[in-house]
């Protein structure tokens, strides 16, 4: 299913697929004034019937703020892969309304919990309705300029990923793409490796003049898979950058979250540390040099989950069923409890709660010499959990590390509150299922 063909007048407004999704999300969020008004009318009716106090309708009005925050987070996350939209909606509607009582407490204002639940239910229903109504419009049709694009795209993201995405890849028409005939398409995909000639350059220029969106195979693969695919070959101009403004906010969020939960994780750490010490000979804590932000090394702390080995033991990947893992080690690795001491690394500024996992110094030196884009993952602080961990799991070989790197680079290029909330939600789900633990 595809959208209706754009007219000549509409073609000038064609934008990227992400911008198109953001436009739909923005319009639907603004239209959400209707369910908010409905909630307020329900509140007034309940107050008139003496079923609730005057605080109920007042709280409904205040709940416009978490509703708008939800809309903003969904807008920011519109560029994430289509497969993540449902999970994103769940977490971005839940978190603002869960924090609403905290806001009232800080302001020392009375409120109605029933009113918060009412607006939360209406907001969630409204955004779910929007997702259902726009499911047909989410189907994107792209025209392939060069032969073999579909096969190369499948090689990058996998056949299964490509099949479940709302996208149609059409071959370039034999008679050329005639815009005035009302073609139904959302953009043109081209192969960057095809040698340019005068005719091709002129065609691409004409497509740009007609406001047709052009995509490389790598950019389409990124939209579909949530992985940052670097161009083939040595492209010296290819680069990504961080987000300094969000880095500051993220650091504040890390400190507040860790400090507020000190009694919980410190008590749990004492129990885990004692269990590790009683289970097998050796120290309870495991210290190892890892590479952090801007390539600086730091001492990472973990609870020891393997048999104690002397200094100088060569580093190697953990494998499924690894005989070095102790009895208690299998339990704490399954529930990620071995990572608890890294909260001290977070307090020290060496790590964040969410970010690419820090690698061992020996591995980094080898990967950086063989994978050109590898150092870019060090633009942000490493984290206890990250996009690669919830999408791929543990990387136990160099081939899997290349895939893991593509997820890490995607995170560096797109990290935001929306993406971090999605990762936190998927991390909880990952811990409950044991995905990726070894």
CA–CA separation, 355 vs 378, rounded Å?
A: 10
**Quick one: CA dihedral 179, 181, 187, 192, positive or negative?**
negative
Cβ neighbors of 152 (< 8 A, separation 6 or more) are 191, 217
Estimate to the nearest angstrom the gap between the alpha carbon of 190 and the chain centroid.
Answer: 26
Pairing of β 187-190 and β 167-171: unpaired
Q: What is the pLDDT along the chain (438 residues), one digit of tens a residue?
A: 333 333 333 443 456 888 888 999 999 999 999 989 999 999 999 999 999 999 999 999 999 999 999 999 999 999 999 889 999 999 999 999 999 999 999 999 999 999 999 999 999 999 999 999 887 666 788 999 999 999 999 998 888 888 888 888 988 887 666 555 555 678 899 998 898 889 889 989 988 888 888 999 999 999 999 999 866 555 666 788 889 999 999 999 999 999 999 999 999 999 999 999 999 899 999 999 999 999 999 999 999 998 887 665 666 666 666 778 899 999 999 899 999 999 999 999 999 999 999 998 888 988 888 887 889 999 999 999 999 999 987 776 778 888 899 999 999 999 999 999 999 999 999 888 766 555
CB 348 within 8 A of CB 380: no
Residue 177: the pLDDT is: 61
CB 206 within 8 A of CB 182: no
CB 252 within 8 A of CB 110: no
Distances (CA, A) of 303 to 85, 187, 316, 344: 35, 51, 18, 12
Q: For residue 144, which of 111, 186, 189, 91 has the smallest C-alpha distance?
A: 189
Distances (CA, A) of 147 to 100, 150, 169, 217, 255: 53, 8, 11, 12, 51
Token pair of 355 as six digits: 């970010």
CA–CA separation, 1 vs 256, rounded Å?
A: 47
- pTM for the model stands at 0.89
Token pair of 150 as six digits: 């579909």
Q: Name the DSSP letter for residue 304.
A: -
Q: For residue 172, which of 152, 159, 189, 157 has the smallest C-alpha distance?
A: 189
Residue 122: the pLDDT is: 94
Residue 4 DSSP SS3 = coil
CA–CA separation, 249 vs 191, rounded Å?
A: 39
Total Cβ atoms within 10 A of residue 331: 16
Estimate to the nearest angstrom the gap between the alpha carbon of 258 and the chain centroid.
Answer: 21
In the block, residue with structure tokens 């008679």: 175
Token pair of 420 as six digits: 């971090």
Residues facing residue 214 across a β-bridge: 188
CA–CA separation, 341 vs 273, rounded Å?
A: 10
- The torsion region of residue 145 among left (phi > 0), alpha (psi -120 to 50) and beta comes to alpha
CA–CA separation, 343 vs 312, rounded Å?
A: 26
């Amino acid at each position: 299913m595809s959208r209706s063909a754009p007219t000549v007048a509409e073609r000038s407004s064609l934008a990227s697929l992400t911008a198109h999704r953001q436009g739909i999300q923005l319009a639907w969020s603004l239209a959400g004034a209707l369910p908010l008004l409905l909630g307020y009318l329900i509140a007034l009716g309940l107050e008139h019937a003496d079923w609730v106090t005057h605080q109920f309708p007042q709280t409904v009005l205040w709940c416009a703020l978490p509703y708008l925050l939800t809309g903003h987070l969904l807008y920011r996350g519109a560029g994430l892969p289509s497969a993540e939209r449902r999970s994103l909606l769940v977490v971005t509607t839940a978190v603002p309304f869960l924090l609403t009582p905290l806001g009232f407490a800080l302001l020392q204002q009375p409120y109605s919990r029933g009113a918060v639940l009412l607006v939360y239910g209406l907001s969630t229903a409204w955004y779910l309705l929007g997702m259902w109504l726009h499911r047909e419009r989410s189907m994107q049709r792209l025209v392939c300029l060069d032969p073999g694009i579909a096969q190369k795209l499948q090689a990058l993201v996998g056949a299964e990923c490509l099949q479940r995405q709302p996208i149609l890849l059409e071959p370039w028409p034999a008679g050329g793409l005639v815009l005035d005939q009302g073609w139904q398409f959302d953009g043109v995909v081209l192969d960057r490796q095809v040698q340019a000639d005068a005719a091709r350059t002129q065609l691409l220029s004409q497509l740009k003049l007609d406001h047709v969106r052009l995509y490389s195979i790598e950019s389409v693969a990124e939209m579909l898979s949530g992985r940052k695919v670097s161009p083939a070959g040595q492209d010296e101009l290819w680069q990504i950058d961080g987000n300094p403004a969000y880095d500051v906010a993220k650091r504040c969020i890390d400190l507040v979250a860790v400090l507020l939960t000190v009694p919980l994780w410190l008590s749990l750490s004492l129990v885990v540390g004692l269990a590790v010490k009683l289970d097998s000979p050796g120290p309870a804590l495991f210290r190892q040099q890892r590479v952090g932000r801007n390539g600086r090394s730091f001492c990472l702390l973990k609870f020891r989950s393997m048999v104690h080995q002397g200094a100088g033991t060569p580093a190697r990947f953990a494998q499924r069923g690894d005989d070095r893992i102790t009895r208690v080690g299998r339990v704490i690795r399954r529930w990620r409890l071995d990572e608890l001491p890294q909260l001290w690394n977070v307090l020290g500024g060496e790590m964040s709660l969410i970010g690419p996992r820090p690698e061992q110094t020996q591995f980094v030196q080898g990967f950086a010499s063989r994978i050109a884009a590898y150092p870019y993952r060090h633009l942000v602080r490493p984290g206890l959990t990250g996009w690669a961990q919830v999408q791929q799991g543990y990387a136990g070989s160099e081939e899997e590390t290349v895939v893991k790197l593509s997820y890490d680079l995607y995170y560096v290029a797109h990290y935001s509150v929306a993406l971090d909330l999605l990762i936190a939600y998927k991390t909880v789900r990952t811990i409950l299922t044991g995905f990726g633990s070894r």
